[in-house]
Amino acid sequence: MDKIIVRGGNPLKGQIPISGAKNSALTLLPCALLTDEPVTLRNLPRLADIDGFQHLMNQFGVSTSIAGARPEDFGRVMTLQATRMTSNVAPYDLVRKMRASILVLGPLLARTGEATVSLPGGCAIGNRPIDLHLKALEAFGAKIEVAAGYVKATAPSGGLPGGKFTFPVVSVGATENAIMAAVLAKGTCELKNAAREPEIVDLCNLLVAMGAEIENIGRGNLVIHGKDRLHGATYRVMSDRIEAGSYACAAAMTGGDVELLGANEEEMGATVAALREAGVLVEETKNGLRVAAQGKMRAITLTTAPYPGFATDMQAQFMAMLCMAEGTSVLTETIFENRYMHVPELNRMGAHIETKGRTAIVHGIKGFTGAPVMATDLRASMSLVMAGLVAEGETEVSRLYHLDRGYERLEEKLAMVGADVERVGAD
């Protein structure tokens, strides 16, 4: 198994191209199930999760082709076409490693009238039930059965009639599944307290480009008027606001100055606000965002929340960064109950972090010390690499399959801005 070796001490300086958003791409890919015409996605990141989802789409009879797939390029262009569906079953072997696989449930149900999907896997960051996915589909007229580790959803013979559903709590994945099911419903579907993340907007924009009719995009009350069919489209995946935020934190904690090419301040509002509160310079440029250290960072208090609040996917990276700030920072995780598994690993490197339930108290330190550490989930992995960038000595990060799920060619991008980092095969 590969490892990343990081030798700390170099400030990050230069330009980093930001890839297409993983969390958006994994929602856009299943949209190809909603039409028999080609759907072409540009700026698709080269990630293990994308490859896994491509294999899953092939399972349903979807043809996939990749254009301009030169190894030296960031991003890819993929065309998917579901001319004839050969299956509406998502088997355990293809679903177990990737939670986003549940996003085929809605479009399969809408297109074929029936879908059987294995209960999903993914990062071990806490209990993430899919009950809201199922309740929303039931509200639109689907019949749901759960047995032997599989969800089976069935629509009435004429298709989903439509209906109304109010989310008791905001759920990004459930909102996405419900939207994709609703666009081919026979009637109108209404979603209240829907998620408003930029990735949801990206999904809606692609569906509209395919002929869907969706009102109130970007708001919490979505109204979807079902169509008899959708057509193909060509669409560019949005930039990854989590990847951009991760590199911003890395630049700040190393005393660096980087330009994040393609980053969008509007989509990163809470992250940018937190960086500025910590004393980091963030300014828009012609091509993205410039992030630069301005002396010692200040301690801050953060609480994760659904968009437009502070993203749970940025919590681990800010924790690593705030270890280098003066004073004591307080982070509260409200989204997932088990997302502090990186704390023991950071403490092994010299951090002084205490956890009390869903709250982490981060005491500023003079510096990290390199050590062998193990990644526990995707964003935790990045926090360990970031700590290694400022650590004295060498840091060895193992279990890279987590990183490869969400950061396109991480070590190459870091090396572009001066980091001493390399990927090596395990002994």
99 annotated to a ligand binding site: yes
For the chain, the straight-line distance linking the first and the last C-alpha, in angstroms and rounded, comes to 8
Q: How far is CA 391 from CA 27, 188, 189, 245, in A?
A: 37, 56, 52, 20
Catalytic residues: 123
Flag whether 134 is marked binding: no
Q: Please tell me whether 313 is known to bind a ligand.
A: yes
161 is known to lie in a ligand binding site? no
Q: Is 23 annotated as a binding residue?
A: yes
56 CB neighbour count, 10 Å cutoff = 22
- The annotation status of 22 as a binding-site residue, yes or no, is yes
229 annotated ligand-binding residue:
no
335 is known to lie in a ligand binding site: yes
241 is in an annotated binding site: no
Alpha-carbon distance of 194 to 247, in angstroms, equals 29
The answer to the question of whether 132 is labelled as a binding residue is yes
Q: From the annotation, which residues make up the binding site for phosphoenolpyruvate?
A: 22-23
Residues of the binding site for UDP-N-acetyl-alpha-D-glucosamine: 99, 128-132, 313, 335
Binding-site sequence positions:
22-23, 99, 128-132, 313, 335
